[in-house]
Amino acid sequence: MNNLNGKVALVTGASKGIGASIARELAARGAAVAVNYSGSKAQADKLVEEIKAAGGKAVAVQANVADPDAIGPLVQTVAKELGPIDILVNNAGIYEFGPIESISPEHFHKQFNVNVLGLLLTTQAALKHFNPKGGSIVNISSVVVDGVPGAAVYSATKGAVDSITAALAKELGPKRIRVNSLNPGLIETPGTLEAGFIGSDFQKEAIARTPLGRTGQPEDIASAAAFLASDDSGWINGQAIFASGGFTL
């Protein structure tokens, strides 16, 4: 399926996990992809080489979206090397869990600066270089918008992502730019493995509450993101789409 031929996509936080899988899928469908990374240069470069070896086009661009001064140069580099942007996937995100007693200003701002402010400023900068014909913005949110014990701040960031999505869908619709959220459930990634979620009682409980009976894989999110990025979803706008196998909190 080459339904993204001629499109230019920027995927933030794309060196590993869900972001890497999305970048790989968009490239496989014909898009030229900017693989943004913060610190994982080797992984980003490896992904770019993989995409090129498969006949695709990709570049790796370093920027920490928590740093407002880094975002403008990121988007300018993408536009210079690949052309006007058609697809923006705001995937970069971090999470730290802990009880209410452990919440501090640092804990709060660390997550909001990446998950919310970084998303807003990346979108703002990307719009200056968007294709005048329009395009698609996909914001990676989470099922935790419904609240998870020990994740008050993280849940708040993802609730903000869904609210931002709804607002921007109305604001940018007249410019023919669609904005949707994609809300994964528990996905098996290097991050969730490192955090101890995979192989834990938490995973067992999540699987038990998932009608499809398994943990999600990055590819499950990538195919959904590619659908939202393409014209196949041309009448879908302002939605928060749960990609969780039916899991609910």
In eight-state DSSP terms, residue 194 is: H
- Output DSSP code: residue 101: G
Burial bucket for residue 50 (CB in 10 Å: 0-12, 13-18, 19+): middle
Query: Cα(29)–Cα(32) distance, rounded to whole angstroms?
Result: 9
CA 248 to the chain's CA centroid: 20
Residues contacting residue 187 through CB under 8 Å, at least 6 positions apart: 17, 18, 215, 216, 217, 218, 220, 221
Measure CA 9 to chain center. 12
Q: Are the C-beta atoms of residues 115 and 36 closer than 8 Å to each other?
A: no
Contact between residue 118 and residue 175 where contact means Cβ atoms under 8 Å apart:
no
Q: What positions carry a catalytic annotation?
A: 154
Beta-ladder partners of 187: 216
Contact status, residue 31 vs residue 9, Cβ threshold 8 Å: yes
In what side-by-side order are the strands of the sheet with 240-243?
Answer: 57-62, 32-37, 8-11, 87-90, 135-140, 177-184, 240-243
